[in-house]
Structures are given as structure tokens and as C-alpha cells.
Amino acid sequence: MKTRSVSLRVKLPVFVFVLEVVIFALYAAFVTYDEHTDARFQNNHTNPMDNAVYKDYPFFADIQVMIFLGFGCLLAFFRLYGFGGMVFNFLTATFAIQWAILVQGYFQFSHDGKIHLGVINLINAEFACAVVLISFGAVLGKTSPLQLLVMALLEVPVFAVTEWAVLKYLKINDAGGSILIHLFACYFGLGVTFVLYRPHLNDGHAKENTSYQSDILSVMGTLFLWVFWPSFNSALTLGGDDQHRAILHTFIGLSASTLTAFALSVMLNKNGKLTMADIQNVTLAGGVTVGASVDMMISPAAAYALGVMGCTACMLGYKYLSPLLARRFRIQDQCGIHNLHGLTGLISCAAGICAILAADEEVYGPSLYEIFTHRAPVEGDPKLQELQMLIPGLRPGLGRTAREQALFQVAAVFSTIGVSALGGVFTGFILKLPYLAPPSDDFCFDDKPYFDVPPNYDSPLQLYSKTATDDSAA
């Protein structure tokens, strides 16, 4: 214990200070203001109320709550790992956002040799951060803060390159991030935990349990995520009716998955009681399952059905699939990210593909070519000129058919899963280096190796052990 603490005392500060120097240098060399933040672009004819901050900042603030409060509280469900769940989330998220501003900025917001910074960059960076935090769930309690920073350092570039390649070359519709956020994060995290497999944890761990207080804190995180998820799904959709639909569909999907989660939790519990882990996780499934089609004309009933389907798949995954993955496939998915983000993400992608195949002008009108921009006629097509008279500013597309667009969606699903899994496996091998101070099996799910903890921090566990002993003696 003492050796690890002294080791981390040197390694963590050195690593963080080096990162800060590098990030400072890169910001100084390459980051500048965009047209909405640069004073040189403002003049007497500029209306301050047209600044992008008024459109983008409310979404940014909502996603901030999800990242730092929602994920932070949700990950604090272990009895003796509340500090680690919340504080390591804080640490990792802060670094991931700083790093993503640079890496994503290079691919998406760079011109004239500079990354042009505005609130929209921060929203995109927080989506990249969400990817890292979802993957963090797979290795919760089994990694050091140094390992988590290295994971973020490696995952953000892999994600940014995948996102750029899929959007630039496959040109898909993924408003709620079912492919590029949920599937990527899930299979990257599973790749990491596959390499970091600890066989002794399959037999259970004395500290791998919750308390009354930690479960309440975790449900608070669920509630933060639940309330602000409509902003997450709609932040980057086309303004107007598309964004309006995204908010409605997300709320309906979440509502349906919540009711279903309560019913299934009682039904699948042999004692006929609610299980807190189900309330903390499965209630959120509807937010993921509507993601790929969230801005499309799928109908409120379809959003409700997707919420029910996603919840059912997620619940069954927790009950039956997660134990199987741990026993047979060396995948110890600590927070069940494969259930909440993988299975539901696949359902969402299938629903999105069906919605794309069914989309036509009879349902959407001319705005079909604004939502599915790559189905718009190519430059020079007479139909493009007709549409531009109805929708001024409509840009030429690729002239794809519904079937062609659906096939590109399928290609994006498989390529994203493949790249993310390989990236996770590679990252896992890096994280196995002893220099990164991983906790021993005995000190997994425990704050003591990394925090100054109160003398009685484990008293609930001691009380539980004493009560169990007394009950056995009786």
C-alpha cells in the first residue's frame, strides 16, 4: 500500500503537469476564436442576439450537468468507492474535454492553420468526453487515476478519427449518437476490460457491493441524466422541427423505458421487489434506443415502442448476458455498459435504418432533403433547382436512394464496432503497464489506495459483516 501511494505521488503529478504543458503549448499555437467570439468580426451592423452563444449555450449547460453530476453520481454506487466514482469522473472528464477540443478541432473546426473555438466546439468535446466516461464504466473500481487519464488520452483520438471518417466518407444520419457515441464507447470499453481481465473477480469481491447511501447517490445521477437527456439527443440536430421532434421522442422513449423497468425489475426478482441497479441503469435505456432516429418522422408511438424494447433488452442483458460474458468471454463489464449502450445502441441503429428506408416526400415533404442531406439531388440536377425554390439554401447532395443510405448506415455500424474494439484492446495493453499503478485485486472497488479517507469510511461494511455473523450464529 505504502509503495503504491509513494509511487502515485510522483507519477500522477508528473503526468498531469506534462499534459498541461503540452496542452498549453498546443492551445497557444493552434487555438483561436471563431467568428462569434472574435471581437474583430463585430461591427455596428452585428446584432449581439444573433450570436451563437444564445442558441448553443443552453444545450452546453445541460450536457455539463449530465457529464459532471449525472455520470459522477451514477458511478458512485460502490459502498467503498464513492470518492473514486465521483472524483475520478471529474478528473477524467475535465482532461477529456480539454484534449477533445484539440483533437476534434483539428478534424472539424480547423482552417487557415488554426482551430476556431466557440461553444459548439465545447458541445462536441463533451460528446467525446461522454464516450470516455461510458467506457470508464466497464473498468470502474479496477483502475488507477493514471490509467484513466491514459485511457482518455488514447480513446479521444481514436474516437475523433472514427467520427471524422464515418461522417466524411460514409455520410450517415446519427443525430443522437447511437453509432458514434454509444456503440463506439461500449465496444471500446469492452476491449479494454477484456485485456484487463482479473480472473479472481469472477468469484465475487468483498467490496463489490453497495450501501443505502451510495444507491441513493447513484439514483440522483440517474435523475440528472434522465432530465437532461433530451438536450443530449437534440443538441446537434437541425434547428426547428427536427430539434423539436428530437426532444419529444427522447422524453417519450425515456418515459416508456422507465415504466417498463419498474415492472420488469419486480417481475424478474425472485422476491418480487425492486432492484436498485435496475432503477439506476435500465430506466435510461429509452434515451439510447431513440437516438439514431430521434429527429426523424418515426411517430410518437414508435418512440414509445423503442423505449419499451430498449428497456427489455437492457434488463435481460443485466440479468443473463453480463454474467455469461464474464464467465465465458473474459469481459468483466462492471457497470453493464454493453446492456445500456451496446444492446440498446444496436436496436437504435436498426430502427434508424428502418426509418431511413421508409422516408419519402409524402411523409416529409421537401424537407426530406434537409434531414437526409445526402439524398438531395446532385449539382446540376433540375430537381435540385426546383427544391431550392421551395427551400432556399438547400445544398446539393449525393443523390442517394433510401436503400443506399441504409447500406451506408450498416457499414458505419460494423466499422465503428470493429475500430472501437481494436482501439480498446490496444489501449488495454497500454494500461497493463505496471508504471500506471493499477490497484491489486484486494484493493479494487476501494478508495483507500488513492484517497485520504475518514477512519470510519468502511464502517457500513463492518456493520454489515457483524450483522451477518450475528444472524448466522442465531
User: pLDDT-derived band of residue 349, with 50, 70 and 90 as boundaries?
Assistant: very high
Q: Which of 350, 70, 54 is nearest to 183 (CA)?
A: 350
Q: Is the per-residue pLDDT at 203 higher than 90?
A: no
Looking at the DSSP bridge assignments, the partners of residue 114 are 111
* Whole-number pLDDT of residue 1: 44
Alpha-carbon gap, residue 129 to 353, rounded angstroms: 26
Contacts 24+ apart (CB under 8 A), 457-461: 457/80, 458/80, 460/79, 460/211, 460/213, 461/79, 461/80, 461/206, 461/207, 461/209, 461/211
Q: Is the per-residue pLDDT at 164 higher than 80?
A: yes
* Whole-number pLDDT of residue 462: 58
* Whole-number pLDDT of residue 134: 98
**Tens of pLDDT, residues 105-146:** 999 999 999 999 999 999 999 999 999 999 999 999 999 999
Q: How far is CA 182 from CA 36, 62, 135, 263, 343, in A?
A: 31, 18, 9, 25, 10
How much is the average pLDDT of 6-32? 92
How much is the average pLDDT of 274-301? 97
Alpha-carbon gap, residue 403 to 387, rounded angstroms: 21
Alpha-carbon gap, residue 170 to 356, rounded angstroms: 15
> Are 417 and 181 spatial neighbours (Cβ–Cβ below 8 Å)?
no
Q: Is the per-residue pLDDT at 472 higher than 50?
A: no
Task: Look at the chain and count its residues.
Answer: 474
Residue 393 C-alpha from the chain's centroid: 33
Per the structure block, which three cell numbers stand in for 39? 471581437
Percent of the chain at pLDDT above 90?
84
Q: Is the per-residue pLDDT at 466 higher than 70?
A: no
> Are 162 and 416 spatial neighbours (Cβ–Cβ below 8 Å)?
yes
Torsion angle of C-alpha atoms 286, 291, 294, 299, degrees rounded to 10: -40
* Whole-number pLDDT of residue 320: 94
CATH topology for 2-358+401-456? Ammonium transporter fold (1.10.3430)
Q: Is the per-residue pLDDT at 468 higher than 60?
A: no
Percent of the chain at pLDDT above 70?
96
* Whole-number pLDDT of residue 202: 85
* Whole-number pLDDT of residue 460: 56
**Tens of pLDDT, residues 388-426:** 888 888 899 999 999 999 999 999 999 999 999 999 999
User: pLDDT-derived band of residue 456, with 50, 70 and 90 as boundaries?
Assistant: confident
Alpha helices in 45-113 (DSSP H): 53-64, 71-74, 82-83, 89-108
* Whole-number pLDDT of residue 401: 95
Q: Which of 158, 166, 226 is nearest to 187 (CA)?
A: 158
How much is the average pLDDT of 430-450? 92
